[in-house]
Amino acid sequence: MMNVLDRFLRYVSLETTSDEASYTCPSTPSQKDLGELLVQELLDMGVTDAAMDDNGYVTATIPTNTSSDVPVIAFIAHLDTAPDLTTKNIYPRIISNYSGDIITLNKDLGIYLTPDDFPELLNYIGNDLVVTDGTTLLGADDKAGIAEIMTVVAMLMDHPQIKHGTIKIAFTPDEEIGRGADRFDVEKFGATYAYTVDGGQVGELEYESFNANDIKVVINGRNVHPGSAKNQMINAIDIAHELHTYLPVKQKPQYTEGYEGFFHQKSILGSVDQAKCAYILRDHDREKFEAKKHLFVQAVDDLNEKYGKNTVQLEMKDMYYNMGEMIQPVYEIVEIAKKAMIDIGIEPIIKPIRGGTDGSRLSFMGLPCPNIFAGGHNFHGRHEFIPVQSMEKAVLVILGIIDGFLQSNKNR
């Protein structure tokens, strides 16, 4: 049986970057390449219903081997990697028995992984770290989650003496661009509860997420020769800057933490004639979330009143909501995950996700779905790394959750 590291290294060798500009599902065909590999591995393990649909969703079932009436639980990870940096031609390297020193990722490019910049490295002295060569993502988000789930499946199939209820598995496309749950058929999937294995450091256990809105702005200016522009020119770039001044300075990502929300300008492109801006708006509190949206709308209305109707065109779209609203009524699923960690000596880190997962949307689709750690650090960047021992602990936690549902049913 391949161990979790072997699986992880195999999966990261496939480039699966998602593409926000694409309107297909999955957004990139390479995600299906990984999906096909996973289906074949599952079939080889003896999971007879493993399949991938036309949209790239991989699903599978491990039937119950106990007479106990245990809820059907699922474990979910995503196939794609973030578009922030390529995952093509990944060259992972293992730093065995990490000493606490500076790690040279790429000497030629001057890229280093240092405890001064990333102090969490010092938590992993003596561990074996998988790192990049500084030119790509590693892909631990979320191929570590996939590797951990697949390792658990192999263990359950090879060891029928491990008793469990019905276990569902799903690997979704395009999570990184907010579409992972778009075509997920919750009713057909048939799980009562689920866990995404998509968190960071060991111990992370998250059941609250942001409420999220995506904003696109088009500003229509009027370009005339600057020498005769008085009372004629409308500079779209200036209006874009003016719009930004409406937003509270201290509600930008670099000034916020914990439950604090933010406005984040992702991009701005343009000329005097036309400018385009993209923002994301986030808050855990639904009332504050709605207030932020109202503030943005009011800013656009003010500018249109000042410069003329339709000078500023606004498109706002809610992406997902705080999954805590759906998980609080069934909080025992958080307690089961918490106990699974404590039982193997892990101190649970229960905190809100400053982002979202597939579980954010699945929870509102009728599948309550907290998020547990996959073990990686520095996701979405060239300094990404993951300790092998953290992946092994994630495997044990998944097994602990499975057993926790069995024991919970017996104690009723």
- Locate the DSSP E strands across 41-174: 51-52, 58-62, 73-78, 93-95, 103-106, 111-113, 129-131, 167-172
* Cα–Cα distance measured from residue 138 to residue 402, given in angstroms and rounded to the nearest whole number: 29
Judge contact between 90 and 16, C-beta under 8 A.
no
Judge contact between 137 and 85, C-beta under 8 A.
yes
* Cα–Cα distance measured from residue 162 to residue 375, given in angstroms and rounded to the nearest whole number: 24
Place of tokens 């409308």: 234
Judge contact between 215 and 279, C-beta under 8 A.
yes
Q: Is 212 helix (H, G, I), strand (E, B) or coil?
A: strand
Judge contact between 202 and 390, C-beta under 8 A.
yes
DSSP 339-372: HHHHTTT---EE---SS--HHHHHHHTT----EE
Catalytic residues: 80, 175
Calculate the CA dihedral of residues 139, 140, 141, 147 and round it to 10 degrees. Answer: 110
Q: Which long-range contacts (CB under 8 A, 24 or more apart) does 50-57 make?
A: 55/25, 55/26, 55/173, 55/183, 56/25, 56/26, 56/31, 56/32, 56/172, 56/173, 56/174, 57/170, 57/171, 57/172, 57/173, 57/183, 57/184
* Cα–Cα distance measured from residue 76 to residue 71, given in angstroms and rounded to the nearest whole number: 16
